[in-house]
Amino acid sequence: MTERWREEFEAERTLLNERVLASGHLGIKRFFALDEQAYQSGALPTKVKELLGLVASMVLRCDDCIAYHLIRCHEEGVTREEFQEAFNVALIVGGSIVIPHLRFAAEKLESLLEK
Amino acid sequence: MTERWREEFEAERTLLNERVLASGHLGIKRFFALDEQAYQSGALPTKVKELLGLVASMVLRCDDCIAYHLIRCHEEGVTREEFQEAFNVALIVGGSIVIPHLRFAAEKLESLLEK
Amino acid sequence: MTERWREEFEAERTLLNERVLASGHLGIKRFFALDEQAYQSGALPTKVKELLGLVASMVLRCDDCIAYHLIRCHEEGVTREEFQEAFNVALIVGGSIVIPHLRFAAEKLESLLEK
Amino acid sequence: MTERWREEFEAERTLLNERVLASGHLGIKRFFALDEQAYQSGALPTKVKELLGLVASMVLRCDDCIAYHLIRCHEEGVTREEFQEAFNVALIVGGSIVIPHLRFAAEKLESLLEK
Amino acid sequence: MTERWREEFEAERTLLNERVLASGHLGIKRFFALDEQAYQSGALPTKVKELLGLVASMVLRCDDCIAYHLIRCHEEGVTREEFQEAFNVALIVGGSIVIPHLRFAAEKLESLLEK
Amino acid sequence: MTERWREEFEAERTLLNERVLASGHLGIKRFFALDEQAYQSGALPTKVKELLGLVASMVLRCDDCIAYHLIRCHEEGVTREEFQEAFNVALIVGGSIVIPHLRFAAEKLESLLEK
């Protein structure tokens, strides 16, 4: 059961991204390509870049973006302790308004780690 | 000359933090302590945490916070190439509204690296 | 089926607006009147003003406001190509954090255009 | 029926807060303690502080935080007229992008007051 | 010396508001009237409403708005201890990104209280 | 005198953009290219797209971005009345927190129109 949200999240995300890109708008397509390239390993490894994306998503308070970067961080081997410290930075920078998103992230993280 | 902004920034910051803390409000003092602890080395090294603080400050568009984390990242040995990749993540997540802060960061970074 | 979200959205919106206005607070009522007047045709046509409202709603990341202005833009004759270009401006200004709202807008737009 | 959202909201909130705190991260625990202390009666009474929390949550557009502070304000004896005036300040400061959250708050308030 | 920033702030504000209103746009004029009315005494006293405006301005991070509501709160008799508690709520809700604005507010408050 | 801010603004902007691009980061360069293309005439004329950029900048409260789009809108022939109506949409969507930026825009607009 714990992985169902992830499968549903990823299926929905893929479907809707296809719809967005089906519009054929070149600027939007190119932005999506830049977005993907921004997290590729370079001077900073992908793991660090995904943590940057996760914390940015938490302080900007976007659950959909948090879910995406949680999954990607998990794939890159971020441990429970590293997640907690990144969550703490997001909480301190962004304040109590971040707490509902911290609850969301904590819940999704458990299901990823339980697998 | 290149270091003057940094000295002025740090003197001003210290002076005003003292004024804030002089109020004696316990909650504010404790928050400042938590803020400092959040970036201490743990499961994630300080360098990564300062990069998290930098990117969070860029997407939330706060020049004062950007200046602070730029200096701290530089002290932790973040290289020019690593800064550029972190700037790029902030730009992609936050969009063109981040560009004035990217200009600010690029200018301050040069003066830090020139020393 | 494609129009059901719109009917439900508009019924819900009407019901809740009535509840808000039933409070009888004069400041809130006057704000609602100003809000309606802001999009009336003047030096700029309503179509352009609704596009301004749509892009503002996208960069501020409010799905409810996006749904409302999508419907109004569609009523004012905004074409699929014009929508795509407005979406692109919102994406560039606001960055990847806008993407979940772009997916939402793309999905709702299809249902409006399919009718 | 009117109170069910409140019970569900509070049960969910308690459950997820426990999950967040179960992580054992000291910084997060301390932040939660500071958050609670910030609303305790002092030079300003709790009622005023909860109204500050409510309006801050409305202009930052977080429904979860709005629900929490609505309940707490209601417990502190905030009247319907006082709520309306606080809602109006939030609407004027934050603009029409706050309206979906004003609808949410108006709906939840009715169920609290109907009891 | 301590009052000069206030005089300059108020002169600049008056001058620019006149320029904004000189445009003759009816919607803008009416919004300015609603903005003024929102803080008039009603079910909630002006002092509480100005504190609401101050905390909203701090979490939204607008120094100009903070300066205005600081002056108005001071005129309404808000004490140093009450200011500190309101600052603390803003800091907890909004996080460390609010700190530069807390420094600004603390500095301006001293000059208001020194008179 | 009235045009000096514009010359200084454009010189500073060009200088700092060059510094940003001198970093040679490909993602940043490509983003700058997408940003420029987003406002080129297509299904929507450049004038409308620049108005979208202006209102987005006002609700996101970035003076630097406001200055840039004001100049571009003026070059595209936006009239004083059209500017006022766009300002009004931004004020209604974004609320009184936008007012300091409305004052900034009104002041800069006068100097552009006086030429």
Is B90:A53 a contact under the CB 8 Å cutoff? no
Tell me, yes or no, if A35 comes closer than 8 A to chain B by beta carbon.
yes
Please give the full DSSP string across E42-107, using - where no structure is assigned: SSS-HHHHHHHHHHHHHHTT-HHHHHHHHHHHHHTT--HHHHHHHHHHHHHHH-GGGHHHHHHHHH
- Using DSSP's 3-state secondary structure scheme, residue D64 falls into helix
Q: What is the pLDDT of residues D57-89, one digit of tens each?
A: 999 999 999 999 999 999 999 999 999 999 999
CB contact under 8 A, B43 and A92: no
| Residue F67 pLDDT | 96
- Contacting residues of C for A94, CB less than 8 Å apart: none
Residue type, C71: I
Cβ–Cβ contact C97 with B under 8 A:
yes
Q: Return residues 41-70 of B near C (CB < 8 Å).
A: 59
Contact A67, A106 (CB under 8 A): no
Q: Are A68 and D8 in contact (CB under 8 A)?
A: no
Q: Is the pLDDT of residue F105 over 80?
A: yes
Average pLDDT over residues C18-29: 88
Looking at B16-25, D93-102, E34-43, F36-45, which range is the least confident one? B16-25
CB contact under 8 A, E99 and B57: no
| Mean pLDDT, residues A51-71 taken together | 97
Q: How confident is the model at residue D17 (pLDDT cuts 50, 70, 90)?
A: confident
Q: Answer for the pair D97, C60: CB distance below 8 angstroms, yes or no.
A: yes
C-beta atoms of E88 and B25 within 8 A: yes
Q: Distance, in angstroms, between A30 CA and closest chain F CA?
A: 8
Evaluate if residue D39 carries a pLDDT over 90.
yes
Phi, psi values for residue B78, rounded to 5°: -65, 130
Residues near C1 by Cβ (< 8 Å), separated by ≥ 6? Answer: none
Range in B14-23, D33-42, E47-56 with the lowest mean pLDDT: B14-23
Integer angstrom CA distances of residue B7 from B11, B13, B109, F43: 6, 10, 14, 51
Query: Could you tell me if F91 and F102 are in contact, meaning their C-beta atoms sit under 8 angstroms apart?
Result: yes
pTM: 0.96
Average pLDDT over residues A59-86: 97
Phi and psi, residue F6, nearest 5°? -65, -45
pLDDT for F3: 62
Question: In Å, how far is C101's CA from the nearest CA of chain F?
Answer: 15
Rounded distance, CA E28 to CA F90, Å? 10
Least confident of A100-109, C102-111, E17-26, F90-99: E17-26
- Chain B positions in Cβ-Cβ contact with residue E100 (cut-off 8 Å): 62, 64-65
Q: A45: pLDDT confidence band, cut at 50, 70 and 90?
A: very high
pLDDT score of B5 more than 60:
yes
pLDDT at residue B3 is higher than 70: no
- Is pLDDT at E35 greater than 50 in this prediction? yes
| Per-residue pLDDT, F1 | 40
Segment F30-41, tens digit of pLDDT: 999 999 999 999
Residue % of chain D over a pLDDT of 70: 97
pLDDT band at B96 (very low <50, low <70, confident <90, very high): very high
Q: Is C20 on the interface with E (CB under 8 A)?
A: no
Query: Is pLDDT above 60 for E1?
Result: no
Taking CB atoms and an 8 Å limit, are F56 and B92 in contact across chains?
Answer: no
pLDDT at position C1: 41
Q: CB under 8 Å to C19, separation ≥6 — which residues?
A: D103, D106, D107, D110
Query: How many Å apart are CA F107 and CA F104, to the nearest integer?
Result: 5
Provide Rg for chain D, Cα atoms.
15
Lowest mean pLDDT among C22-26, C52-56, E101-105: C22-26
pLDDT at A55 over 70: yes
Average confidence (pLDDT) over C4-30: 88
Q: How many CA atoms lie within 13 A of A77 on its CB side?
A: 6
The minimum CA-CA distance between D38 and chain B, rounded to whole Å, is 7
Average pLDDT, chain B: 93
- Most D CBs within 10 A among E85, E96, E97, E98, hence the mutation to make, goes to E85
Beta-carbon separation of C38 and E27 below 8 A:
yes
Tell me, rounded to whole angstroms, the distance of Cα F56 from its chain centroid: 9
With CA atoms as reference, report the closest residue to F109 among C28, E22, E8.
E22
For the segment B71-99, the average pLDDT, to the nearest whole number, is 98
CA dist C48 and F2 (Å) reads: 30
Q: Does C93 touch chain B (CB under 8 A)?
A: yes
Is residue C70 pLDDT above 80, yes or no?
yes
Q: Is the CB of D93 inside 8 Å of chain E's CB atoms?
A: yes
With CB atoms and an 8 Å threshold, state whether A48 touches B43. Answer: no
Sign of the C-alpha dihedral, residues D42, A98, B18, D34? positive
- Which chain E residues are closer than 8 Å to B31 by Cβ? 88, 91-92, 96
pLDDT of residue F65: 97
* Res. B13: pLDDT tops 70: yes
Place F54 in a pLDDT band, splitting at 50, 70 and 90. very high
- pLDDT at residue E2 tops 60: no
Judge whether residue B12 has pLDDT over 60. Answer: yes
pLDDT at residue C114 in the model: 85
Please tell me the number of Cα atoms within 13 Å of B70 on its side-chain side.
27
- Does A108 have pLDDT greater than 70? yes
| pLDDT, tens only, A13-31 | 898 888 888 888 999 999 9
Residue B1 has pLDDT above 60, yes or no: no
- Tell me which residue of F64, F19, F25 sits closest to B111, measured CA to CA: F19
- Model confidence at C3, pLDDT cuts 50, 70, 90, reads low
Average pLDDT over residues D93-113: 95
The dihedral of CA E89, B63, F97, E22: what is its sign?
A: positive
As a whole-number percent, the residues of chain F with pLDDT over 90 amount to: 79
